[in-house]
Chains A and B, each alone.
Chain A
Amino acid sequence: MIKRRTLLGAGAVLASGAGLSSQADVRAPSLAGLASGAPGSEDAVGDVYPPGTLAPRGRFGRSERLPTLELESRQNFLRSFRTWVNMSLSAKAAQRANEVLGERGLAADRELPQDQALELLMNEPLPQLATRAWLSSQQLMWHGLREEFEGNVGKYLAEMEAVDDYGPYLELNPDLPVPDYIRHEIHIMPGGYVGNPVAGHLYHYGTNGFYMGRNDNDEIHSGAAQRLPVPADGQVRRILDLGTGVGQFAMALKERFPDAEVWGIDAGGPMVRYAHLRATERKLDVNFAQRLAEDTKFPDNHFDLITSYIMFHEIEPEATRRIMHEAYRITRPGGVYYPVDFNTLDNPPRTAWQQYRGYMDHRWNCEPWTPHWRFCNPQQMIRDAGFSLDTDAPAVIPRYGILNATKPA
């Protein structure tokens, strides 16, 4: 049984030879070779829901519904289970952690050395169980999505290939030297951001689960884009989103600044390819390119506004410094640089449970660089790059960090 998406009506359009641009039509003949089946067979890309197959299932807000009720239901359950673990079960684990501190005469409101917090809770059943339940539900979530997207990889790649040359600008670079620090399977996502041909699909549906329903229509990205500060002269002609992923923040910025030239770059080719597909689908003129944030290839003083959305806590220390210097080079005098990321200043002391959970996230959820971000003093790094910094401005996402930098005019 074929499970298809409705994207741009790609299947129908390709079969009829009408509807897409001439460029896309030229690419269409190659698509039969990309899918595993021969033309006319059940797996052929150009077929339009042959007899006995299911039509696409429509949309859920901005997203295509997952292709089967089976997958959709299971993912829905896993999202709820994750929420239950992170709320109810974790609350019990936190309570137990405080009891352990009390039994040892330790104050619950003082941050312990990391090793001591881990040692205290390492053999406690409830924290262990909460960690296992969280990771198992996440592994099951990825497994289900992987089964669909990797299992039908030819079809999903064909849909992206059909629009590679259609709509806004897309630059893909198979020869990009991807640094090792980006090649980790962040969030234990199979293949990570750069290593899976359908990474964009996996990331989009998987991280929607992380937000537990609060970002199904990019609500958090849109809110942050609306609150992002602009240069003092009010001029916003060119915008860049570094580490754009599947382009949610870049597209939200285009919605706020429809007349601006908006770019999103990311080291992950499959990510920007999927971002381009979504931008095309949403008729948003956003340019995407597979490039490195530390080597953007843009001219000096080019952008009025540069940002990134929770990118830095996934970046190694030296690359963090180089990216900030690159951002300075390409921001125009008077332009704003505001990377959105987790707060690093004046955080309240972490409880033993939060320290334990933070370590488990770092070690077993594959967040290699998060502890570095917490202690790297990005405020000073941004100043060292040449920017002036206003840390009194409101955060663009409540409780996130404030890195509101301006390149001196």
Chain B
Amino acid sequence: MEDVTRINGHLTYATAAIKADTDTAVFLGNPHIDNLMTIVIALGAEIWESKQRMLIIERLLETHGRVTEEMIEQYVASDTEVDLWEAKKAAMMQRVYSVLARDTSSAQPFNSPFPY
């Protein structure tokens, strides 16, 4: 959206913003490694979306014996299911991402000699 003040001739009541430069920030020493971190998170979201869809399909098949796209999209989870999904998500998060929080204070270069 280049001109934010009008769309198809209709007023939007918006005005031009002063853009943030956060896209240019490098935290991990190399912008490509920063990008990889973003990709890793995005892939987690993609996997969770597929997993949740699968859980819904399984539930629908159990209870209705059939499934349509509309049924999947309209599915409303019970409180019990929400709790179960949250637990599954937390477990997935732990399995996949906990390595990021590991202690790296004793990290050493890959060409370090054997210590013994």
Interface residues of A (CB under 8 A from B): 30, 33-36, 54-55, 57-58, 68-70, 73-74, 76-78, 80-81, 84, 88-89, 92, 96, 99, 125-126, 128-129, 131-133, 135-137, 139-140, 144, 150, 153-154, 157, 161, 172-174, 176, 178, 180, 183-185, 188, 191-192, 194-197, 199, 268-270, 273, 290, 364-366
Contact = CB atoms under 8 A, between A and B. Distances in A.
Contacts of A366: 20, 22
Contacts of B46: 74
A132 B27 contact: yes
Given A73-B49, A133-B37, A150 B27 contact: no
A80 B87 CA distance: 11
Interface residues of B, number: 54
Contact of A55 (B17, B20, B70, B103): B70
A132 B34 contact: yes
A250 B10 CA distance: 28
A1 B39 CA distance: 27
B99 to A, nearest CB: 11
A135 B25 contact: yes
Interface in B38-93: 38, 41-42, 44-46, 48-49, 52-53, 56, 69-70, 72-76, 86, 89-90, 93
A120 to B, nearest CB: 14
Given A129-B27, A140-B38, A188-B22, A69 B13 contact: no
A140 B46 CA distance: 12
Task: Name the prevailing secondary structure of the A interface residues.
Answer: helix
B9 interface: yes
9 tightest Cβ-Cβ pairs between the two chains A and B? A269-B13, A195-B17, A197-B12, A73-B49, A77-B48, A185-B20, A136-B38, A74-B45, A132-B27
Contacts, number: 170
A135 B52 CA distance: 25
A138 to B, nearest CB: 9
Given A77-B89, A133-B41, 5 more contacts: A33-B8, A73-B53, A76-B48, A92-B101, A180-B18
A136 B12 contact: no
A300 B10 CA distance: 35
Interface in B92-109: 93, 97-98, 100-101, 103-105, 107
Nearest to A99: B105
A139 B16 contact: no
B74 A57 contact: yes
Given A54-B70, A69-B49, A74-B48, A194 B10 contact: no
A78 B17 contact: no
A268 B37 CA distance: 33
A54 B7 CA distance: 25
A34 B10 CA distance: 7
B17 A196 contact: yes
A172 B14 CA distance: 10
A136 B16 contact: no
Given A77-B48, A84-B93, A194 B14 contact: yes
Contacts of A365: 22
A308 B23 CA distance: 31
A55 B48 CA distance: 23
B105 A192 contact: no
A268 B98 CA distance: 40
